[in-house]
């Protein structure tokens, strides 16, 4: 293999690595367990997925999608859905776009393409 082939292979590797979503981190601040946070460095967006508890404080498989509101300096509820994998994928979909001041994605300003990692369809 020539050095030109090696360089091309390395550039291909870098291009593929650029559009991998960031990793999820455990959030222990709420005390209920199961919550995870993800931050998107390109867009500065921050999301959390947490258990939805019913009136009896029971978890029945639904999950909250929460978005970081930089003005309020806290996570605010965005949606509730299930399964957890769908909610996490929806967050990764939203993380591809620049966000406005309230933390909502602007779908006209895409800065990454994570679509190769999606397992579900119908994000938009």
Neighbours of 40 (CB within 10 A): 23
Whether the Cβ atoms of residue 83 and residue 61 lie closer than 8 Å to each other: yes
Over residues 98-122, the mean pLDDT reads 85
Provide mean pLDDT across the span 104-124. Answer: 83
Can you give the pTM of this predicted structure? Answer: 0.77
Structure confidence at residue 118 (pLDDT): 87
> Alpha-carbon distance 91 to 47, whole Å?
7
Summarize pLDDT for 15-63 with one digit per residue, the tens: 555 578 899 999 987 666 789 999 998 888 899 999 999 999 899 999 9
Half-sphere exposure of 89 (CA within 13 A, CB side): 16
**Angstrom distances, CA of residue 68 to CA of 60, 65, 81, 122:** 24, 10, 18, 23
Residue 18 CB-density burial (10 A; 0-12 exposed, 13-18 middle, 19+ buried): exposed
pLDDT tens string 62-109: 999 999 988 889 999 999 999 999 999 999 999 999 988 777 888 899
């Amino acid at each position: 293999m020539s050095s030109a082939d090696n360089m091309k292979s390395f550039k291909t590797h870098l291009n593929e690595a650029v559009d991998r979503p960031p990793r999820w981190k455990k959030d222990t601040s709420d005390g209920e367990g199961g919550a995870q946070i993800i931050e998107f460095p390109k867009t500065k967006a921050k999301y959390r997925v947490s258990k939805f508890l019913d009136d009896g404080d029971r978890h029945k498989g639904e999950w909250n999608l929460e978005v970081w509101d930089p003005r309020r300096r806290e996570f605010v509820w965005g949606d509730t859905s299930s399964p957890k994998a769908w909610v996490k994928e929806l967050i990764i979909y939203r993380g591809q776009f620049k966000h406005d001041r309230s933390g909502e994605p602007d779908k006209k300003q895409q800065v990454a393409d994570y679509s190769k990692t999606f397992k579900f369809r119908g994000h938009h």
